[in-house]
Structure 1
Amino acid sequence: MDIRIEDLSSRNVIYSLEVGPYAEKAKQAWNNLWDWYFGLPNPPAMKSCIGYGLDSPRIIPADMLRYYACMEMDTDAIEDLQNDLPASMGRLSIPGGRYAIHQMKGPYQDMPQYFMKMHEEWLPSSDKVPDYSRPFLEIYLNNPNEVGIENALTDLCMPIREDRI
């Protein structure tokens, strides 16, 4: 498995939150975010799109899983927009830090299996320790509507600790 280690900076985002099974609710969160964004009279520039599930489906029941669809923008743009967000949306800062990153090519449905491989194959053979205090991130690098889903690129980011336990 091809993994690179990188320090990511914190990111200010507007998010759409949905609760329930990831396969269903992630899509809904993204649809809500895009509908809101493209409904703005003068949408500000986006820097990146980031998604993450906050809960482990191995521990948390499916109907309680939380998924965040996020759009990174300049802080000024976020401040201008934050007071007029729908109830399921908000503003937050995704913490930065050191991450193990695998660039996945292909459909988004493949993400769970690649995150699992990072945990079960790569992690035991590395000298790294996951940092479960920060979210595992999906950073979307291109638009599948433009390149086709088979060419969609997504950085799958596992937060890692600087020190060993």
Structure 2
Amino acid sequence: MEMVIENLPSYRVAYVRQVGPYGPDNAQAMNTLKQWADNKQLLNESATLLGIPQDDPTTTPPEKCRYDACIVITESEQLEDDYIEIGELSGGDYLICKVRHTAEDIQQAWRVIIPHLHTSGYRMDNKPVIERYRWELLHRHWCEICVPVRPV
């Protein structure tokens, strides 16, 4: 598995928030976002989609877990809509792990990521983990797990 430290910029995003247990409803939120983005002609080769679980399901009751399905947008795009929120995602250093977009491969990645952090001189920062879907990876069924990090 490829793992590199990357400094992500701050992003302006349009997003759909799903509240409830993580699982199939997250995929529905992403599909809703993709449909909206496609209608706005934002779903193209330069698109970056983000999946952001906002809460730790081991400490947050399932019915209160928040998941944001996002697309990166420019400052100039005026995209007001009743179903879509606009927000900012702060940048910073992230451990980027490119993985096949299957539940099994993502679970396996986490078994490698945590030990890797302990030996790399970094630890997780107090920001949400991001799943990043760039066009060139999405169509090959890959994604990037972006883990916020800071030096020990």
- TM-score norm. by structure 2 comes to 0.85
Q: Which runs of 5+ in 2 are unaligned?
A: none
How far does residue 144 in structure 1 lie from its aligned partner after superposition? 7.8
How far does residue 24 in structure 1 lie from its aligned partner after superposition? 2.0
Whichever structure has more helix as a proportion of its residues is 1
1:111 aligns with 2:100: no
Structure 1 segments (4+ residues) deviating >6 Å: none
Matched residue count? 150
Contact 1:141 1:152 (C-alpha < 8 Å) held by counterparts: no
How far does residue 118 in structure 1 lie from its aligned partner after superposition? 1.4
Q: SS state of the match for residue 76, structure 2? A: helix
Q: SS state of the match for residue 34, structure 1? A: helix
How far does residue 106 in structure 1 lie from its aligned partner after superposition? 3.6
What is the percent sequence identity of the aligned residues?
27
How far does residue 39 in structure 1 lie from its aligned partner after superposition? 3.6
Q: SS state of the match for residue 21, structure 1? A: coil
Across the aligned residues of Structure 1 and Structure 2, the Cα RMSD in angstroms comes to 2.3
Paired with 2:121 and 2:99, the residues of 1 have a C-alpha distance of: 22
Alignment map for 1:47-58 (pairs within 5 Å):
47-58=47-58
Q: Deviations over 1:94-141 (max 9, x none)?
A: 11111111111242564344235312x212222112111x22111112
Which residue of structure 2 aligns with residue 102 of structure 1? 97
Q: 1:39 to 1:48 in 2, by over 3 A?
A: same
Paired with 1:115 and 1:161, the residues of 2 have a C-alpha distance of: 18
Which stretch shows the higher mean deviation, 121-130 or 93-102?
121-130
Q: SS state of the match for residue 100, structure 1? A: strand
Paired with 1:115 and 1:50, the residues of 2 have a C-alpha distance of: 18
1:141 aligns with 2:131: no
Q: SS state of the match for residue 118, structure 1? A: helix
Paired with 2:98 and 2:18, the residues of 1 have a C-alpha distance of: 25
Which residue of structure 1 aligns with residue 66 of structure 2? 66
